[in-house]
Amino acid sequence: MDLLQETLSRIVPQDVAIRAKAHARLEALTMPHWALGRLLDLAEDLAGITRSLRPPVTGKTIFVMAGDHGVVAEGVSKYPQEVTPQMVANFVAGGAGINALARQAGAVVRVVDMGVAADLGSLAAEGKILSRRIGPGTRNMARGPAMTRDEAVAALEAGIDIALQASTAVDVFGTGEMGIGNTTPSSAIVAVLSGRPTEEVTGHGTGIDTEQFAHKVQVIDDALHMNRPNSKDGLDILAKVGGFEIGGIAGLILGAAAQRKPVVLDGFISTAGALIAHTLCPTAGEYMIAAHRSVERGHCIALELLGKQPLIDLDLRLGEGTGAALAMNFLEAAVRVLTEVATFEEAMVSTANA
């Protein structure tokens, strides 16, 4: 808890003065006013986050937090739980969607075992994954709390520690995840924080049919009724209906914010983690960049709660950090515009008529 509290105390707003300087330069570039639209908004945001008119964005790492969920026993997913460790092995081998897109973006992929229900000790021992294991998956939230409050703190602090350990090499943090069944706790988190009916924030995950969807909604409703998470207490929400990897993502975000570095959010599960971080420290939201809008129904609502407009909308629903990898290209583009495009004065180009 000491690391969590210390981290929360270190998160401060973006630098307003640097933002203003960046804005003034962007307004003076050799183009019609704000002609590159939200790319210029992103450039201003990056300047405010990093306290620099030359924001560093070349060191990019996507942390794929992996964890299993006891609620899978309720039949909420189309895939069996053993897919989680199998996909971890695929990430390590470089054969997953996130590996391909991260390579294209020039980003490193680091896989973190937050609580997979399988023995990944050999991969950790070989340095192929990071082990921040809280336990062999959460408990079944439909039968009681997913984890203890102490475990929730441990998950958050694991994510914070990863951000701190990576601070010298990483300019931009990306969030990713792997965990069969994790859209169920994510939907529960969004339901708690939005106050919206469960069916409005729940999607079809990996492709469940209409009957399975109705069952999934009922399982989430039962879990919320049984556990009654406090919407004002991010730790309580995480402990009662969250996941170890969701806690790890929330901690990673808090750790990045404390170091004044941008963190690119992937899809629905990552944004559920961001909501936990935002509940614990609303100022952390100033360091979050929403990569994309997922087809998962609850993702739009989660983004609204954070006040974020995503950079892209490509009907993605894979997770793993794939949307974050794609969006990292836009961060580099935004910085190039801020630092390489000449102003009217620098280029000796006439400005528009008054």
- For residue 157, the one-letter residue type is E
pLDDT exceeds 70 at position 89:
yes
Judge residue 58's burial from the number of C-beta atoms within 10 Å of its C-beta, 0-12 exposed, 13-18 middle, 19 or more buried.
Answer: exposed
pLDDT exceeds 80 at position 306:
yes
Q: Which of 182, 220, 223 is nearest to 201 (CA)?
A: 220
pLDDT exceeds 90 at position 207:
no
The predicted model gives 138-146 an average pLDDT of: 98
Alpha-carbon span 252 to 69, nearest angstrom: 20
The predicted model gives 314-339 an average pLDDT of: 97
Catalytic residues: 320
Model pLDDT for residues 156-182, shown as the tens digit of each residue = 999 999 999 999 999 999 999 999 999
Alpha-carbon span 194 to 1, nearest angstrom: 27
Judge residue 319's burial from the number of C-beta atoms within 10 Å of its C-beta, 0-12 exposed, 13-18 middle, 19 or more buried.
Answer: buried
Residue 263, CA distances (Å) to 41, 44, 288, 343, 344 in order: 16, 15, 5, 29, 32
pLDDT exceeds 80 at position 220:
yes
The predicted model gives 232-256 an average pLDDT of: 98
Q: Which of 189, 188, 219, 217 is nearest to 204 (CA)?
A: 217
Q: What is the pLDDT of residue 350?
A: 86
pLDDT exceeds 90 at position 1:
no
Q: What is the pLDDT of residue 290?
A: 98
Other C-beta atoms lying within 10 Å of the C-beta of residue 263: 28
Q: What is the pLDDT of residue 206?
A: 77
The predicted model gives 63-69 an average pLDDT of: 98
Q: What is the pLDDT of residue 224?
A: 98
Q: What is the pLDDT of residue 325?
A: 98
Q: What is the pLDDT of residue 204?
A: 87
Q: Which of 13, 4, 2 is nearest to 247 (CA)?
A: 4
pLDDT exceeds 70 at position 354:
no
Model pLDDT for residues 42-57, shown as the tens digit of each residue = 999 999 999 999 999 9
Mean pLDDT rounded to a whole number for the chain: 97
pLDDT exceeds 80 at position 352:
no
Percent of the chain with pLDDT over 90: 95
Domains of the chain, earliest start first: 2-54+338-347 (1.10.1610.10), 60-329 (3.40.50.10210)
Q: What is the pLDDT of residue 135?
A: 97
pLDDT exceeds 90 at position 239:
yes
Nearest-10 Cα torsion for 144, 267, 207, 69: -30
pLDDT exceeds 80 at position 275:
yes
Alpha-carbon span 104 to 61, nearest angstrom: 13
Confidence band for 205, pLDDT divided at 50, 70 and 90: confident
- For residue 139, the one-letter residue type is R
